[in-house]
Amino acid sequence: MLDNTVKNELKRIVGEANCSFSREDLICYSYDATNSPHLPDAVVFPSCAGEISLIMKMANAESFPVVPRGAGSGFSGGSLPVRGGVVISTERMKKIIEIDPDNMTAVVEPGVVLWEFQQEVERQGLFYPPDPSSLRFCTIGGNIAECAGGPRAVKYGVTRDYVLGLEVVLPTGEIITTGVRTAKGVVGYDLTRLMVGSEGTLGIVTKATLRLLPLPESTITMLAVFPKLKDAAAAVSAIMRARVIPSTLELMDSTSIRCVEEFAQVGLPMDAQAVLLIEVDGSRAVVDAEAAVVNEVCLANGAVTVRTATGKDEVKDLWKARRAISASLYRIKPNKINEDIVVPRASIPELIEGLQAISSKHGLLIASFGHAGDGNIHVNIMYDKKDTVEAASADKAVVEVFELCLALNGTISGEHGVGIAKARFLELELKPEVIDLMAAIKKAIDPNGVLNPGKIFTDKKSMARADMPGPSDTQ
């Protein structure tokens, strides 16, 4: 609990209109997509790095936790105030400070909504590729904290590939700048990359310099329909071997297809075992040639049809379906564990077979979809948490999914991060000396453990323990 002295100082720093201690407001900032609420003691809405710096200095002096938060769309509990304290919401720091077409860079505040930023740069003939499913409401600051990806990662990479430099408030209150505004820069350690993906545990981003690309001239969207899931999985690698790198290459299994078609009704084939949603982009001549190759490869690998979207409305409907899969799965069961595992692309067929075996073993429906082009598959274990036997089976199944993934030289998280949802699984992937080094970095930068405690590390490695969840309803 915060005493009145701290509350009054928070009001002084950000202004009384920019902080709240009312239960109604605190509830709004107590949860994210994990649906595992933890009530903070206060929420503040700073307008600049200086205000955040003062809050962090007070947090060290008074020993209360501070948790940074963007839009609260995270899938691993990274923005949950698991120890109470003060939530710093950056939602009002939403200026696009600069877009530089000549150098193809932009400078933005962390509260800028990704979709709005993308629309603005595209009006100037530029392109910012990262596109997580939450792109219409997630913020740049949250994207940086989690190193967000999305369907276009197969060709264009993830958020870290577009962050040139940062302004960051450290846990002890100092304000630093990292990185460069140039195409190259190797002076000292790469603190920018250290901060990107650190889940708000090492610093609070208050400004970002981002790299932009030229807007592609043309895009073709295709839907390949397969009667066998393993053939669709094999086609993914075959497309890459044909020397085509699509801008997106998304897989949906039969469960995902059925659920999303009943939900969105966009004309997906209900009898298909799998579909691939594929886009190629670039110059018109290149796009036409690559689309022809993709069509040929899919048919050669068992596709019964390959359909090319004929207009913007059809493209919009296909992507509406893809982005609606997660929500539509609740038509099957009231709860699900969604894990964003990644395996080498060539191992996707083995992954699919292994997932089917785990599904059969535990009598649980497992729906799989996601970014097959870069091996990042969202594995959804469907269950009812009111059924204790089924919930226990789901908990066992997720461990087996991770073990399968790691046996295929994969990783247990490609986009969602660790937060609290995956903290208990960290040692499955990382050796103790690696975890010790990470904990030492955290301790060096945050000696008093005030910034976002209880995340990533379990109590054995961290300065404060969060309650580890069981099966979670994460997206």
Judge if 101 and 210 occupy the same domain. Answer: yes
Residue 285: is it exposed, middle or buried by C-beta count within 10 angstroms (0-12/13-18/19+)?
exposed
Judge if 49 and 108 occupy the same domain. Answer: no
Q: Which CATH number belongs to the domain containing residue 103 in this structure?
A: 3.30.465.10
Judge if 134 and 237 occupy the same domain. Answer: no
> What is the pLDDT tens value at each position of the chain, 475 positions in all?
899 999 999 999 999 999 999 999 999 999 998 888 999 999 999 999 999 999 999 999 999 999 999 999 999 999 999 999 999 999 999 999 999 999 999 999 999 999 999 999 999 999 999 999 999 999 999 999 999 999 999 999 999 999 999 999 999 999 999 999 998 999 999 999 999 999 999 999 999 999 999 999 999 999 999 999 999 999 999 999 999 999 999 999 999 999 999 988 888 999 999 999 999 999 999 999 999 999 999 999 999 999 999 999 999 999 999 999 988 999 999 999 999 999 999 999 999 999 999 999 999 999 999 999 999 999 999 999 999 999 999 999 999 999 999 999 999 999 999 999 999 999 999 999 999 999 999 999 999 999 999 999 976 533 333 333 333 443 4
pLDDT value at position 308? 97
Q: Which one of 326, 349, 368 terminates a domain?
A: 326
DSSP H or E run through 366: strand 366-371
Q: Which CATH number belongs to the domain containing residue 290 in this structure?
A: 3.30.70.2190
- Helix axis angle for 348-362 and 388-407, nearest 10°, is 160
Q: Which one of 214, 232, 248 terminates a domain?
A: 214
Enter the pTM of the model: 0.94
Judge if 341 and 306 occupy the same domain. Answer: no
What number of CA atoms fall less than 13 Å from residue 116's CA on the CB side?
Answer: 13
Residue 154: is it exposed, middle or buried by C-beta count within 10 angstroms (0-12/13-18/19+)?
buried
Residue with tokens 């295709």: 222
Residue 54 lies in a domain: yes
pLDDT value at position 459? 62
* Rounded Cα gap, residues 16 and 34, in angstroms: 30
Judge if 104 and 210 occupy the same domain. Answer: yes
Judge if 209 and 157 occupy the same domain. Answer: yes
Looking at residue 338, the DSSP 8-state letter turns out to be E
CB 221 within 8 A of CB 308: yes
Residue 475 lies in a domain: no
Residue 446 lies in a domain: no
Q: Which CATH number belongs to the domain containing residue 392 in this structure?
A: 3.30.70.2740
Structural domains counted in the chain: 4
Q: Which CATH number belongs to the domain containing residue 50 in this structure?
A: 3.30.43.10
Residue with tokens 């708000």: 200
Q: Which one of 214, 239, 265 terminates a domain?
A: 214
Q: Checking DSSP bridges between strand 86-89 and strand 42-44, what pairing results, if any? A: parallel
Q: Which of 321, 326, 290, 323 is nearest to 308 (CA)?
A: 290
Looking at residue 466, the DSSP 8-state letter turns out to be P
Going 124 to 186 to 90 to 425, the CA torsion angle's sign is: positive
Domain that holds residue 361: 332-407
Judge if 102 and 169 occupy the same domain. Answer: yes
Judge if 37 and 62 occupy the same domain. Answer: yes
Residue 430 lies in a domain: no
